[in-house]
Structure 1
Amino acid sequence: MQPQAQSDPDAPRVLSEAVGRIGDFWDLSNARLGAILGLSPATVSRLRSGQYRLEPGGKPFELAQHLVRLFRSLDSWLGQDDAAARSWLTTRNLDLGDRPLALLATVRGLLRTSDYVDALRARV
């Protein structure tokens, strides 16, 4: 059985557009977004302009799914305040040991940051 994202023909377009919007919301340069997704800045530029789409099954597609997960969790936790999200991402976090944005360039850092925000949201 295939995962939903791989069987949905619109998944590459939807995810690519979502990642481009996340980059805009968080003021990420093409180089920074590319470092997170494992893509070159030129490829990210094409992604943002709609000339490139993430391919299901590829590592950038998987990383983009995790980035969307982080965005949604952070957006929910901070009440859809983009300025607060940007501030949180760029401020050193003692629990994570660095600025969250600096951690996102590695798979481990992206997953750890996502798990951290999910845990914060789950607090009662």
Structure 2
Amino acid sequence: MATLARAADTSNAARVLSEAVARIAGFWNLSNAQAGAILGLSAPTISRLRGGQYRLEPGSKPFELAQHLLRLFRSLDSWLGQDDLSARSWLETPNLDLGGPPIAQLATVRGLLRTSDYVDALRARV
């Protein structure tokens, strides 16, 4: 019985995170290639994810990267007051601290984590 419950939790986590990533890509106007570069997936796989025919697999690298992408989204959303246009503008504007537009940093694991940490630090200013 516990195994069945764990399988259901895993399936639900995959569905929820996959749908969240598809929505984030839409909010931020990410192309399939851009979203794929962030998650380590091909553009056709992102297209299937957006269409609901593909789910991220819990425990996989793309799943972990998607969790970090969701963290960044939530941090930006909180910091900028749920203003998607401001979030897109911030992502596309060159940032001296990050060494370029934040969106360009997201294609590497280091860049994704650094950008997330940066936004968290901005939100925590007193």
Instruction: Establish whether TM, by shorter chain, passes 0.5.
Output: yes
The 5 A counterparts of 1:57-68 are 57-68=59-70
- Does the 8 Å contact 2:33/2:42 carry over to 1? yes
- Alpha-carbon distance in structure 2 between the residues aligned to 1:9 and 1:60: 15
Aligned partner of 1:41 among 22, 40, 43: 43
Percent identity, aligned pairs only? Answer: 78
- Alpha-carbon distance in structure 2 between the residues aligned to 1:84 and 1:9: 33
Aligned partner of 2:22 among 13, 20, 42: 20
- Alpha-carbon distance in structure 2 between the residues aligned to 1:98 and 1:65: 23
SS at match of 2:37: helix
- State the 1:110 CA deviation: 0.1
User: Residue 78 of structure 2 corresponds to which residue in structure 1?
Assistant: 76
- State the 1:68 CA deviation: 0.1
Opposite residue 35 of structure 2, the aligned amino acid is L
SS at match of 1:9: helix
Cα offsets for 1:17-62 (capped at 9, x unmatched):
0000000000000000000000000000000000000000100000
Structure 2, unmatched stretches of 5+, are 1-5
Instruction: Using structure 1 for the length normalisation, give the TM-score.
Output: 0.94
Structure 1, unmatched stretches of 5+, are none
- Alpha-carbon distance in structure 2 between the residues aligned to 1:112 and 1:25: 21
- Does the 8 Å contact 2:71/2:116 carry over to 1? yes
User: Residue 3 of structure 2 corresponds to which residue in structure 1?
Assistant: none
- State the 1:8 CA deviation: 3.8
Say how many residue pairs are matched: 120
Runs of 4+ deviating beyond 6 Å: none
- Alpha-carbon distance in structure 2 between the residues aligned to 1:40 and 1:110: 18
- Does the 8 Å contact 2:10/2:58 carry over to 1? no
